[in-house]
Structure 1
Amino acid sequence: MTTAKLPPGPSAPRFVQLAYALTMPRRGMGQLRDRYGDAFTVNLPIFGRAVVISDPAEIKQLFQAGPDAADNLERNLGRVLGPGSLFALRGEEHHTKRKLLVPPFHGRRLVAYEQIFEEETVRELASWPEGRAFATMPSMMRITLNIILRAVFGAEGAEFAELRALLPKFVELGSRLAVLPIPDVRWRWSPWGRFRAMRRDYDLIVERLIAKAQRDGNLAERDDILAMMLQSRYEDGGRMSHSEIADQLLTLLSAGHETTATTLAWAIERLQRHPAVLYDLVDEVDAGGKALRDATIVEVQRVRPVIDMVGRQVKTDGFQLGRWTLPRRCSVLVSIILIHDDEKLFPNPRKFDPSRFLDAKPDLYQWIPFGGGTRRCLGAAFANMEMNVVLRTLLRDFSLLPTNERDEQWHSRGVANAPAKGALAVVHRRTRHAATPIAATTTGARS
């Protein structure tokens, strides 16, 4: 056997390291890098002994490795999303099923979703209070959920209402359970028992959606992803099973609902504290532009990544990863926080500065909020377009008032890291394209 060569790391017991990771996810990673360098070995209950990397060359090598060398972690969101989820699939099976889901996230179908994005944003923002602080993240959660129910599930009527009531609780519980060990005994009244009951309710609703769609006889003219799944065929002519469709719909929901909503909440939190950027964005919206808005969304994802890490598991003994020789079954965790905070890649990395992306697209091995390689988030383009439209609509219709309050702290929701206070904001409805600022705060805001 090849002799393993792992980077150094802390020697504390496994559960002590877990407590450290949970209570100090951002600062703790920085402290470990300061002590051990840009790669170190940790020992955690879910992943076991794992190598954490943040060197761009090693990240690129890992993401480019084929599934025979390094594939998805065994313990991932597939544990709660179902065996048909892309998170649970590996190798050729993952490749085959991913190909079926690519078309709706590009070209004509993607453009067709823009109207849904704006309609749901306008509908939600109509309820916003003026002149007093309120948490905006719940609104972002409702917007992204409604968008996915329409654009992905093709839901309306009773099914829309039932999923809208069920899924927030279902997703929140699932995201917390996804990072915990699965107990050997699952009592009905335990969190896992409640989760399985919610999953049964979800499956029944999806069955009704499928039955409605099949009776519709108009699938080819629909743009929702459920309709596309029902029409898609594998190379051998086979169809996706109903259970596969249910798992994949849930996967797309999990990947594109909470994470997108949380990024939008962070955008609101950041812009209030950077009025110069905020004012320039408003001017750009009024002029019909989008370059700065695109760059701002990229920069928000860099400085406030909602996911800490993405990972792979080594499938062959003696896998050479840069300076390290890794044994089979070793977990490799790519620290999104550390690479986004690397001074060599992003000068003055703690500064919120969208201009750094105005003339250059981010390197996808250095800016990795959507992961990378063959497992990069399938809906990245969908999510970025959604965030762009939501932010455009918000800035067009409302004045977001700057604040002198301290930055909101990071709060772990299990999978995503959200603003601790829910992105508190004070807004006023705008008089469209008005040029004079309103004197609502000591720092001022545009109307």
Structure 2
Amino acid sequence: MNWPPAPRRVPKSVQGAMYALQRRRVVNRLTARFGGAFSLNVPLWGRMVVVTDPALAKQVFAADPEVLGNIQPNLSRMFGPGSIFALDGAEHRARRKLLTPPFHGKAMHRYEAIVEEETRRELACWPENTEFQTLEPMMRITLNIILRAIFGAGGAELEGLRRGIPPWVTLGSRLVVLPSPRRDFGPWRRLRQYREEYDALVGTLIDRAIADPDLDDRTDVLSVLVRSRYEDGTAMSRSDIADELLTLLAAGHETTASTLAWAFERISRHPEVLARLVAEADTDDNEYRQAVIYEVQRNRTVIDFAARNVNAPVFELGDYRIPRGASVSVSLAQMHWNATAFPEPQRFDPQRFLGQRPSVSFWMPFGGGTRRCVGAAFANMEMDVVLRTVLRSVRIDTTDRPAEKIHNRGVAFTPRDGGRVTVHRL
């Protein structure tokens, strides 16, 4: 075997704590010291190779799933064994086939009205002439959108999910980077209780969908999954549907809301960008708005790594030879701050993406390869419509204050002060 270089004489427990709590800082320092790949030994994942070179990252994402498979352990610890995060190989490919149709093509247009309606509902509560955090309002917007578009929830079930999901997401995102205890206690017991409440509510929604005579006409994802079939004609189990819906909610709720909060933090500090966005919002175009969204995702990366497990006896990564059982993690934040691909990477400049789509070799906020986020198109549509609706409804003040610092919420990286802005109604 030929491992990439590693920091010496640093205990495994210390490496693990630093990686969990100060991942960005650790990766930045070790990249400056070792270059495009280095090794760590951390709790939960063991021996891990961290990749920061785009050519090596491309090799990771292009690898056959039989060679580089699902990272172990993964987010299925929180979402359940029926989550797409728990699946590998043929099972993973079959599940993606069922999940892809609701998030592409004409299906997106059916969800736009829900996004605009929920954004306007939240806008009605925004204070005028008073600075406030946008992160929490964005959390509420994205949660309500998902509950309606994905769960098809309404009435008592909608209210129950609205109450129970936010604390579950917050607690789960903090615990997911920690080893699971053998017995539930404290926060892990609370997490299990949240899950039991969720299962009861979703069970009611599944029963209602099955009994609905108009099931074939419904467009919410829950209904799509209830009536979908694998190639052998079998249906998804109720528990798998519940796990998958929870996965879609958790993976799309906090990350999309965090990106939108960063968008408000960024545009309020760049008057020329904000002015151009406002002018475009009065038209049917969205070319510049898309460029801004791409640049926010690059400049303020919310999910900063995507990992794989070595399934083959040996994985050859550049000049290195990594043995079976090791983990390989691509630092997405380092990809986005690559100075060759993005000159002056610290500069916020939507012009980088104007008139062209981002290169998947360097821009990868949704991960890459066969495990790229299945809801990427939905998240992009969501951010586009939310920004358009806000810009058509309020005027955002600009500020010359320093940029908000990056805050680690466990999984997602958010503005430390919540993406604060001051607005005035039009």
**2:116 is the counterpart of 1:129:** no
Query: 2 CA distance for matches of 1:290 and 1:61?
Result: 33
* Aligned-partner Cα distance in 2 for 1:222–1:285: 31
1:201 to 171, 189, 197: 197
Select which of 208, 226, 240 maps to 2:222: 226
Q: Does 1:334 align with 2:330?
A: yes
Residue type of the alignment partner of 1:116: I
* Secondary structure at 2:309 match in 1: strand
Q: Is the 8 A contact 2:35 2:52 kept in 1?
A: no
Q: Which amino acid aligns with 2:3?
A: L
Alignment of 1:402-413 (within 5 A): 402-413=398-409
SS in 1 for 2:191: helix
Aligned to 2:381: 385
Of 40, 53, 57, which aligns to 2:55? 57
Question: What displacement does 1:243 show?
Answer: 0.2
Task: Name the structure 2 match of 1:245.
Answer: 241
Shift of 1:336: 0.8
1:167-178 paired onto structure 2 within 5 Å: 167-178=165-176
> Secondary structure at the residue paired with 2:259?
helix
Pick aligned residue for 1:83 from 56, 81, 84: 81
C-alpha distance in structure 2 between counterparts of 1:179 and 1:349, whole Å: 28
1:317-396 to structure 2, matched below 5 A, reads 317-396=313-392
The yes-or-no answer on 1:10 pairing with 2:19 is no
| Secondary structure, aligned partner of 2:330 | strand
- Counterpart for residue 285 of structure 2: 289
Q: Which amino acid aligns with 1:341?
A: W
- Once the 2 structures are TM-superposed, how far is the Cα of residue 380 of structure 1 from its aligned partner? 0.1
Alignment of 1:148-159 (within 5 A): 148-159=146-157
Cα distance in 1 for residues equivalent to 2:216 and 2:58:
39
User: Which residues of structure 2 form unaligned runs of 5+?
Assistant: none
Match in the other structure for 2:91: 93
* Aligned with residue 166 of structure 1, among 164, 167, 176: 164
Q: Distance in 2 between matches of 1:355 and 1:76?
A: 36
After TM superposition, give the deviation of residue 22 of structure 1 in Å: 3.8
SS in 2 for 1:312: strand
Aligned equivalents of 1:217, 1:57: Cα separation in 2: 52
Distance 2:311 2:218 in 1: 41
Query: How many Å apart are 1:288 and its aligned residue?
Result: 2.6
Number of residue pairs the alignment of both structures matches = 425
CA RMSD of aligned residues (A): 1.0
Give the Cα separation in 1 of the matches to 2:283 and 2:247: 37
Q: TM (normalized to structure 2)? A: 0.98
Deviation at 1:23, TM superposition (A): 4.1
**Offset, 1:334:** 0.2
For 2:74, give the aligned amino acid.
Answer: N
Q: How far is 1:106 from its partner?
A: 0.8
C-alpha deviation, 1:230, in angstroms:
0.8
Letter in 2 for 1:113: Y
Indicate the residue corresponding to 2:117 in structure 1. 119
Determine helix, strand or coil for the equivalent of 1:287.
coil
Q: Tell me the amino acid that sits aligned with residue 110 of structure 2.
A: A
CA shift for structure 1 position 78: 0.6
Unpaired runs of 5+ in structure 1? 431-447
Q: Is the 8 A contact 2:395 2:424 kept in 1?
A: yes
134, 137, 140: which one aligns with 2:138: 140
Report the alpha carbon displacement of residue 67 of structure 1 after superposing the two structures with TM.
1.5
What's the secondary structure of 2:282's corresponding residue? helix
Q: Give the 4+ runs in structure 1 shifted more than 2 A.
A: 18-28
Answer yes or no: is 1:272 the counterpart of 2:273: no
d(CA) in 1 for partners of 2:273, 2:418 = 21
Say whether residues 1:259 and 2:241 are aligned partners: no
SS of residue paired to 1:71? strand
Instruction: Give the match's secondary structure for 1:399.
Output: strand
Distance 1:185 1:246 in 2: 23
1:182 shift after superposition = 0.6
Listed one character per residue, the Cα deviations across residues 158-209 of structure 1 (whole Å, up to 9, x for unaligned) are 100000000001111111111110112223xx21111111111111101100
Percent identity reads: 53
- 1:441 aligns with none
What is the identity, as a one-letter code, of the residue corresponding to 2:123?
A: L
SS of equivalent to 1:43: strand
Whole-angstrom distance in 1 between the partners of 2:377 and 2:172: 25
Per the alignment, residue 316 of structure 1 pairs with 312
- Matched residue SS, 1:360: coil
Q: Aligned AA for 1:75?
A: P
Say if 1:251 and 1:23 are closer, same or farther in 2 by CA, change over 3 A: closer
1:185 is aligned to: 183
Cα deviation per residue 1:337-361 (whole Å; 9 max; x = unaligned)? Answer: 1111110111110000000000221
Alignment partner, residue 25 of structure 2? 27
After TM superposition, give the deviation of residue 90 of structure 1 in Å. 0.8
Q: Describe the SS at the equivalent of 1:87.
A: helix
